[in-house]
Amino acid sequence: MNFFDKLMKLDRRWVFLFLVVVCVATYMTEFEVPILVEPETQVIFDFVDELEPGEIVLIAIDYDPNNLAELHPMTYAMAEHCWRKKLRIIFTSLSQNGPGMADQAIRDISDSLMQDTEYNGVMYEGREIVSGVDYCFLGYKPYYALVILAMGQDFRLPFPADYYGTPLDSLPMMQGVINYDQVACVVDLSGGNITDAWISYGQGRFGFPLLLGLTGVMTAQYYPFLGSGQVVGIMGGLLGAAQYEKMAGNPGLAMDGMRVQLYAHMVIILFIIMGNVGFFVSRRKQKQAERR
Amino acid sequence: MKRQFPLFLVFIFGLFMVFQYFVPHETSEWVYEFLLDWILVIGIFALALGIWSLYKVSVDKIKTRKANWGYSYVTLFGLFVMILFGFTSQNGDSWGWYFIFVATVMLTIGMVIQAMVSSGQKGLSLILAGVFLVASVLIGMFDNAWSFHFYTAEGLQNSMFRAFFDHILIPILSTMFSLLAFFIASAAYRAFRARNLLASLLLLAALIVMLRFNPYLSPIFGDYMAKTSNWLMNVPNMAAQRAIVIGIGLGIVATALKVILGIERGYMGKG
């Protein structure tokens, strides 16, 4: 058995081992990876950046811990950007484990907001983020399509009280906020089918600007909605989050994780190339043997 | 009548929801909101049914000693301990007897389950369950370091509830999902081979899209890689995805019509 035959029959555990070594090595070694910003993410950043202080952004945290690596950095980057700009946020979670994710993100971002930070050359003073004033966390309700439709009538229909049990009517930021008409845009950060419902039942029926943050594998599936104008922009996977962080001038979890992802992808590409080289050489040898 | 009444209800409400979309009248909106409320209430019942179903399946698995039955104890422990954490909350800085209370409640439930699944002597398990129950009730009555919050959301802010979510559930689910990277690498190595024309096209397209995001290659290929990748995403990909979306949409309309007209009756448990 020559080298190429061995390459064709390489035990998959070698692939796993090589990938582990590359992931651990790139994680342990600190270096910066250049991030190229795509227009799909640029429009999302520009849309949020152009909103006036006091405007309301609805961020739907529709993902479970499975998608944490890709989508949690998006939540952190977007929510911090919004709060630094003094926008107000309504959080919802239409996936079962979403409330825990949102709760964790709100706690972490609130902590980092306490410190002064420079964003793209602009100094933002640290401040306390207050529930009911700077944000309202609605929590989870089953049947996401119906919840999206009901919020279009009145947020109080599916959520009479927020996640912490406070009636919506008693929250200062919810005074005069009835439905999507009072919301500047909806940001859906999702790792599943809930995005379809936001497009069909939400944007389709109520016409609000919809910004998407999706896992890498889902991104290609939603390009038709970008082309039709139903979706303003799409952030795809960890790369999308890293692009947002780069534009915001606020390096975080995504830019940190990009060096691991980039080199892991390069390993996968390398294995694909090796597999094909082995395949072609073996096939040629097989044909030569058949001719003899 | 038993079969016709559900069909009648589906016909009436299905038609109403179709026409309501085009009638922006106050009464129509009111009925629509009322129906949305109903569906949410039904959803809550489904949640309770789901919990009961998980409990029943796990207990049956232990009872019949099916493969990996031991893990059902872990499932039941996770289910009940998270419910307990969600309904209790610390009052001050000290936890008092809280963890002994949690342990006694879990042991009570464990002993009851043991009595249910045991085919022989059930007496000892039931006596122990009673003892642990009394102990947990006494701790619950006299320990003021923590309290119950059945109707408020304070339990959701219980540090134990958050700790279990943040430090157990999140790492478990993230780990499961991150394993995909290894399987994708292995599968890509084995399956992504240029065996014929279509496979070669797929391989080429995948390589271009993957390499487009590689910042180290952009100085070599310039804009060509980005432009080709964007064309692949915006033209062939979008065309194919649109065809799929439109196909699914038409399928949904056809299925909805079949359900409203009573042709499709699978939801009643019979074809």
Size of interface A-B (CB pairs under 8 A): 150
> Which residues of chain B are modeled with pLDDT < 50?
271
B61 and B73 share one domain: no
Taking the CA of residue B263 and the nearest CA in chain A, the distance in Å comes to 24
B61 and B76 share one domain: no
Taking the CA of residue B125 and the nearest CA in chain A, the distance in Å comes to 35
Q: Which of B169, B182, B218, B252 to mutate to test the interface with A (most CBs of A within 10 A)?
A: B182
B93 and B34 share one domain: no
User: Which of B145, B164, B191 finishes a domain?
Assistant: B191
Predicted pLDDT at A1: 65
Residue B170 in contact with partner chain A when CB distance is under 8 A: yes
> Collapsing DSSP states into helix, strand and coil, what is residue B226?
helix
Q: Which domains does chain A have, with CATH numbers?
A: 35-256 (3.40.50)
Taking the CA of residue B117 and the nearest CA in chain A, the distance in Å comes to 30
B161 and B256 share one domain: no
Residue A272 in contact with partner chain B when CB distance is under 8 A: yes
Of B185, B190, B241, the CB nearest to A224: B241
Judging contacts by C-beta atoms under 8 Å, the chain B residues touching residue A161 are: 153
B81 and B187 share one domain: yes
Residue A270 in contact with partner chain B when CB distance is under 8 A: no
The least confident of A255-264, A283-292, B195-204 is A283-292
Judging contacts by C-beta atoms under 8 Å, the chain A residues touching residue B164 are: none
User: Which of B43, B65, B87 finishes a domain?
Assistant: B65
Q: Contact A68/B174, CB-based, under 8 Å?
A: yes
Give B251's contacts (C-beta < 8 A, 6+ positions apart). none
Nearest chain A alpha carbon to B230: A38
Domain that holds residue B184: 67-191
Predicted pLDDT at A90: 97
B271 and B208 share one domain: yes
Predicted pLDDT at B144: 86
User: What is the per-residue pLDDT across A171-216, written as a single tens digit (0 to 9) for each?
Assistant: 999 999 999 999 999 999 998 889 999 998 999 989 999 999 999 8
Q: Contact A103/B233, CB-based, under 8 Å?
A: no
The packing angle between helices A68-84 and A237-248, to 10°, is 20
Nearest chain B alpha carbon to A17: B182
Contact B261, B11 (CB under 8 A): yes
B106 and B116 share one domain: yes
- This complex has an ipTM of 0.80
Judging contacts by C-beta atoms under 8 Å, the chain B residues touching residue A279 are: 193-195
> Collapsing DSSP states into helix, strand and coil, what is residue B89?
strand
* Type and span of the H or E element at B15: helix B4-20
User: Which of B65, B89, B116 finishes a domain?
Assistant: B65
A53 φψ region: left (φ > 0), alpha (ψ -120 to 50), beta (else) = beta
CB contact residues (below 8 A), chain B span 127-156, against chain A:
152-154, 156
Of B173, B174, B238, the CB nearest to A227: B238
Number of domains present in the structure of chain B: 3
B104 and B175 share one domain: yes
Q: What average pLDDT does the segment A144-161 reach?
A: 91
Q: Which of B31, B213, B235, B237 to mutate to test the interface with A (most CBs of A within 10 A)?
A: B213
B140 and B186 share one domain: yes
B176 and B72 share one domain: yes
Residue B177 in contact with partner chain A when CB distance is under 8 A: yes
Of A163, A220, A275, the CB nearest to B193: A275
Residue A266 in contact with partner chain B when CB distance is under 8 A: yes
Judging contacts by C-beta atoms under 8 Å, the chain B residues touching residue A100 are: 162, 165-166, 169-170
B104 and B199 share one domain: no
Nearest chain A alpha carbon to B231: A223
Q: How far apart are CA A234 and CA B225, in angstroms?
A: 20
pTM of the model: 0.84
Q: Hey, what's the torsion of the CAs at B193, A14, A217, A148, to 10 degrees?
A: 150
Nearest chain B alpha carbon to A138: B153
B105 and B94 share one domain: yes
Contact B159, B98 (CB under 8 A): no
Of B32, B182, B195, the CB nearest to A16: B182
User: What is the per-residue pLDDT across A91-119, written as a single tens digit (0 to 9) for each?
Assistant: 999 998 888 889 889 999 999 888 888 77
Q: What average pLDDT does the segment A139-157 reach?
A: 89
User: Residue B36 corresponds to which tokens in the numbers above?
Assistant: 């949305």
Q: Contact B170/A10, CB-based, under 8 Å?
A: no
